[in-house]
Structure 1
Amino acid sequence: MDNLTTRHKDLLKMLLSEEDYKSMNYYSSILNVSPRTLYSDINAINCSIKNFHMEVDRKPGQGIKLVGNLSEKMELLHSLSSSKEKEQTFSTKERQLEIARLLLVEEKTISYQKLSDYFLVSKTSIAKDMEVISSYLNEETVSIQSNKKGTKIIGTEVQMQYSLKVFTNLLLEENKCLAEEDFFKVGPKILKKVYPDKIVEMAFKISNDIENTLNVDLSDHYLKSLVVTLIVFIYRISKRNHVYFERNFVFEEIKTLETYLIAKSILEVIAKELNIGFSESDIDYLNRQLMAHGLKPKIKNEAETKKYREIVSGIIKEMSTVMHVDLTKDQKLFDGIIFHLIPMEYRLKMGLRIQNPLLNEIKTQYSVTFSATWYVMAKVEAALDITLTEDEVAFIMVHFQAAIDRNMQVKKILIVCPTGIGSSELIANKIKRFLPSQDIVEVVPMRKVYENDIDNVDLIISSVQLDINKKPVIYVSPLVTNSDLKNISNFYADIFYRDNSLENGIEKYSFKHLSEVLDMDFIFAGRSYNSKEECLMEIIKAMEEKQEVYDGFKESILEREKLGTTALESGAAIPHASPETVKNSKVAIMTLKNFIRWDNRYVNTIILICIAKKDIHKIKNILSEIYQIVENKDNINHLLVGKKEIEIFEVLGGVVVD
């Protein structure tokens, strides 16, 4: 009985005096602890009273009861009475851990006097204990706050979970569970003294499932860390505590999407088992923890992936042609797409839809890569007999963008102003034309520059003064003049050794790639239609009459429209056809006298992109020039709206032949 604490013995005495089942709340209110703590106490008690052939029985809806015959109960009571109840049952280290448990796990507000009474030590000893506990705290952990009501911990949910991991590792250390091999043998028993059995078992099982699902072999060190992370995370989720924090820069956020679906599936299992909900931030937080533990999917075996290998090799080769960068030797890209493709086929054929949390940001800031991914994935739809969704395409795009970043000198540029909108949008729209199309330009509010790590940022352009020294910053006026643009161009060239220039200080539009696929027969100016169907059907009819397309052209456009809106906030819609259905590459343009509703937005300009399979290498440049036009309303109005067919043709670089 020596391994039982005073509270354990008090609970046993109460159970010995009761003949019927009593609820956990009944005992917890008397002992002033939570029912969850009593569950851990009961596990410890049952281990200690096995020799008496007794156990504390639990019945759902009824409570708990000590089961045993009268003679066994008398023997147990005699054993309890003969022990020195007043002797200290905690070592100094155990007492400190128990105080930490009360603060962190139970989230109690405690007083030095109550702790002194409970542990049978002086208040001075408790004060020293608190000093030791405080020594483990830092900026990443919670902090201890004391007032008239008592002592408690305060901090964010991220700090709370980090602190619980520190506490849990100290608990394992105190129980001589130092080596990783010991952790998997005796760790569960130790952890169940603090956390509910179900959560501990769930964490070990999920860790094992992750290794099998991703086909990875984590080192014992990382696996132990992952189990502790999951126990803490699941425990906090079970108590309805959720993580909330600001998102990082988009170019950093998309890196996490490779394991996003794994984190989401883990949370779905947890939510189902514990009958609780979870937030998008919870997925994001868990996903970051998975990535921190080096979890990346690997292909299990060639037999399982045989039918996908040729498909994936084909789309990577095609994307290399489209984006003008060789991605064919990138094994990480190959494995990542195959790993996504297999469950994706199952989801789509079963009618299961997933949501990409960064879909809108991806469509806005990675518009060229996103649209190019739609094109190259057309052959996947045909090969697997599936219909893609925007969300699935966005997930695939993430793999391509990551590979492009690895294989090209992609620059990450921030545009900053006090609000992150307004003047910064104006700056972004103007300067994008003078930067390489693969560069990532992101508009952010000033606070985000200070809240996030900017190590991966290459250049900052700002309309307000910043206290930044470790990254190059160029300042511009809120309205960004031609002089500002020239300075940006020269500054960029000086830093990155590129030759970008402005002619005579005047903004110049160049549509040399778009002009190659323009045709006067497919420019429709100032039309009066009331629906997107009417607009599309006129363009489709003209294409079919001129025999520029194959059978299935119309269907491919209409099917794409069902999958997600092609309308942009700028007032333009950019539908496109499958390359397999296009005979000769064309870009059709239609302007309207009045705005019409196009899904969830209003548009007055339609640009139908029809690129033939033979011209797949031209897609990137054509898309880049189209997005220059449609990125804002001013460009659309300046270049297209209100103009006649011949004027649109000429302003976009078309040459009229007499």
Structure 2
Amino acid sequence: MDTQYTDSKARRLHIFERLLNYEHLSYQQLSEEYFVSRSSIANDISYIKKLFSKEDLSLTFDNSGTFFAGNEIQVQKLLKRLMLQQEVIANDNYLLTRITDAFRKALNEREFDIPESYIEQIVISIYLIVSRSKKGHTIQLDGKNQLGRFFLEFDKYPIIYDLLKEIENQGIYHFSSEEVQHLTYLIVGSGLRFFLKDEKIPFSFRDRIRKLIQKVSEGLRMELTQDNRLENDLVVHLYQLFLRTGAQTTIVNPLINEIKQMYPSLFGVVWFALSDFCKPYQLSLTDDEVGFVTIHFQAAIERLKKMNKILFVCPNGIGTSSYVSAKIRRILPDVNSVETVSTAKLNHMDLSDVDFIISTVEIKDNRKKPIVTISPMVTANDMKKIMNYYIDLIVAKEKQNTKNFTFNFEMNETVHKNVEFTNFSSKQEALSYLLLKQNFTSKTARDKFIASVWEREELQSTYLDNGFAIPHGNPEFIEESSVSILILDKAITWGNQLVDVIALLLIREKDVEKVEPVMNLLMRGIEDKTWFISKMMEVKE
């Protein structure tokens, strides 16, 4: 073996590439080929397993060694994620550039509107099909139209082929019919709003979207069901999710870590609600997809947020007041109201619903409301000063909304009797233990709930992140809402991940508002597991 691979990073990536080419590799073989110890190879394989787990994939081993037993679509899905996250780079930058230029040319000529980040993901998918095919690795579809029930318009197939034709015209690659079909799902599922006709969407699907919004609204104790834009945005996004599922691909969310950190409870509530939404369609969700839906909901929440009131203090008459008020409304269009008052009236007003005060004269107020003093002519500097106060106020409110999680009495009462520190050797043992210790008045209800939990696990792993799993079942069979938390001494295998914290959720439909504080707790724990374990030890005592 070439000594260029004795560097650990280069060696790991080379072994990773060989596994993606479906080689069977034994530790002894790799140790001899790369001139390193078996323990070094073991560390390399451990690192590579973590790469595979990013797409919930795993390696297999037998007498011939370690290998990947999946299919080419899964390989390309994993490579796309790693390329977008810049953990691996393209082997042929010239080919990638040619495909990028050709695809952009086709989009521009047809004036298709598609987000820039999605273009990058589509181009990488095309590049992987081309580059892997040249190495003899082609995708194989199962021959079944799995999305017929998801109202895909197959008359759009020629339009996608027309986009890909530019790549063929430039002599880059000739796509097979299976590759065009695969890319049809992928491209339409990656943001081409042109293909989605509202009248083609069954009422039943839109009705499920409304129920999803209702469930999240109840979980957040916030009214979002009247937001038509939220409904339409989710119809488009979740429709496209079906198409991405048909292509066995996903979209990588570059902001997923920031979304989890900034909106942990919202992410948790959306994740919980989406798991029920997707169950009838047998769809498996990634954190990336949940993150995008979370942003749609956060956008709706932002639309609900309005400034309370701005007071404008002016002693110079109605004409000046109207002029300044018009200027303020021009630079702060989302403000609910701008009320003009005199200096004398200000001293006797209730300012509880006032965000800040703008004045053309110096005033003193001891009620700690921000005061911006400006010229009666509202100069450019005055406008900047108002905007700066406005921005500072918004930032302050955001910090207040994302302040550190605190345990309230209700949460303490919910959790402290249901926290255990112990050890189990398997998912089956750990989850069965948690399920069997729950209180049910009838064996029938218990058996139905347990069956619903395992059914969900078969459909989609309830692993969330950082060693946390959140199993849950059909709320129809739950008699009393609770959460049971099991903290293990040693992590166990949970699908293709390792888990050492299991939180079994039992939330009745009528108690859905309890989801937010529970998910907020768990998301904070995912962010800081040491804090979480310490807090669980504290509340158990």
TM class by smaller structure: 0.3 to 0.5
Bigger Cα Rg: 1
User: Does 1 or 2 have the higher relative contact order (CA < 8 Å, sep 6+)?
Assistant: 2
TM-score after normalising by structure 1: 0.38
